[in-house]
Amino acid sequence: MQLWLVLALVTSWMMTGIIWFVQWVHYPLFDRVGRAGFAHYEQTHTRRTFQVLLLPLGLEALSGAILLAGFTAEVLKCPSLMAVLGLQGIIYGLTFFVQMPLHRILEQGFSEKAYHWLVRSNWPRTVCWTAKSLLLTHYLFNL
């Protein structure tokens, strides 16, 4: 199980770094792109971001699924690991049901409402990834 926990830890910290960059630097600059070229910018941004995130996000999802499926009894006994999986569920729920639809709106052109909601609604993901990484670190270094 430790190999999968190490994979979960590494990918979680990778995603934590990425999400903080996105939240603090990247998203706040969206409103400075300009209205005329924003749709093209957002389409390119979405495609390139997906390419960067595919491997770490895929490995993070895989490690979570393996922990849940392969070590269910052990995970159920550990509140920290239960919290980690819960946070991962929240992160992915927000990603698929909030962030991705907002990006689809923005791909059609800049929307002040969608932009502000994108930035605000990304804070819970940022906090959850940070908490998830800290919990995994604490768990692994206290085995």
**8-25 residue pLDDT tens:** 899 999 999 999 999 999
Type of residue found at 65: A
- Number of folded domains in the chain? 1
- How does the average pLDDT of the chain come out, rounded? 92
Of the listed ranges 40-44, 53-57, 82-86, the least confidently predicted one is 82-86
pLDDT tens digits, one per residue of 80-96: 888 998 999 999 999 99
Which distant-in-sequence residues (6+ apart) come within 8 Å of 64 by Cβ? 8, 84, 85, 88
Tokens of 112: 């002040």
Contact status, residue 129 vs residue 1, Cβ threshold 8 Å? no
pTM of the model: 0.91
The pLDDT confidence band at residue 1, using thresholds 50, 70 and 90, is low
Q: What is the pLDDT of residue 21?
A: 96
Share of the chain above pLDDT 70, in %: 97
Q: Which domain holds residue 64?
A: 2-140
